Homo-oligomer: A and B are copies of this chain.
């Protein structure tokens, strides 16, 4: 699959990263001589963060090319994403150029934050090909895309756009009625307007306003949004009760907050100055990385419940391939997130155990101990494990773990995981672990099902010819290590 990105700023660069890291070939058209460097900066951020969302490896990156001719850029494209500045005449001109050369069945998505699709389609050669696909910065991490068709957009095209966006890990929100600024930006503008008033009136600085968000309702909105949060606040009496109780109170200040502050040079200077005082000690690059590390950490936390963006990651992860194997099964292939590192500047010891635990989980799936089996009341519990930490592992390393069955009989399963970095070149840890099969209802040991036992026996036989691994059967501090 091939995507063409027209306009390579922060948003265009984010689209490049989103497609490329999900295995698409990407061609770029941007007359800015600095485009390759700018996109390279975004890609560097994306490579350290996007794969860290997942506990499986993303597919191999596609090929990235830059083109001076639009015809070359769009040739053979399945998706063309336009992210040029927010001027209708410019977008019309660029769309015309794109449609002269692009495959007729390609989707032409516009990143516009304000224009309606019908405005973009107006006067186009093939208006039905144009649709709004409005993403959010950083595009490589935030799942939301507002997909806005017009009345003349074929529903088949909208559905195809939705499916493609899902396949690259995004959350398309189909906007059923086109309006200026779609949905999210209307909310953002309301807050922006209110924020400008607060600064303009000297009530609060930019930092105080940010604090009023991030220490409070921002944390609620990241998982539930506005209405579900209020539903919970309303309690058992329900949403209608909440609105009856708070509706009128919320109404009072409405009449006072409706003016628009003048967008004067003084206001711009005031806000820019306050923002410098608040954040000027960090470069934009440092702020971007801080933002991305926080986003990855919070989104990984949401994976646990599947709420919001966590659900999107879980769904996408389920479509990522489980690793192939030749001799020993590869049970883990994944990138190390920044949040897995500690004050020593390397992967924390507990994360070696976590990766080993993921290897055990994957091996259990391979012998039939999957979610269905666990739901039926059977599982394995780890009773003992021994880890050797042989090499440091840094943030961004790609880990691969192989699993060897040392023995298995009755309730017992004895595994040996080898953890590698550098494409399997460097052994970084071994983990030897003994598990017992459990009846989850009685919370007592029990025999596995016949199917599981048979599957496990096949592994035992296949691994029986292998020599016992170096490091197995060791106790802590055994003398061959110094």
Contacts and interface: CB of A to CB of B under 8 A. Distances in A.
A321 B297 CA distance: 27
Contacts of A263: 247-248, 251
A477 B438 CA distance: 17
Interface residues of A, number: 160
* Chain A, interface SS category: helix
Contacts of A10: 233, 235
Contact of A204 (B175, B201, B207): B175
B432 A476 contact: yes
A225 interface: yes
A30 interface: no
Contacts of A291: 220, 223-224, 229, 232
Contacts of A374: 343-344
11 contacts: A186-B197, A190-B191, A210-B225, A211-B225, A214-B221, A214-B223, A219-B222, A239-B275, A251-B263, A297-B301, A297-B304
A144 interface: yes
Nearest to A311: B215
Contact of A387 (B225, B226, B312, B385): B385
A105 interface: no
Contacts of A240: 268-269, 272
A246 B219 CA distance: 26
A473 interface: yes
Copies of this chain held together in the complex: 2
A388 interface: yes
A327 interface: no
A249 B86 CA distance: 8
A210 B181 contact: no
Contacts of A143: 215-216
B192 A213 contact: no
Contact of A257 (B189, B204, B304, B312): B189
A198 interface: yes
Interface in A250-299: 250-258, 260, 263, 268-269, 271-272, 274-276, 278-279, 283-284, 287-288, 290-291, 293-295, 297-299
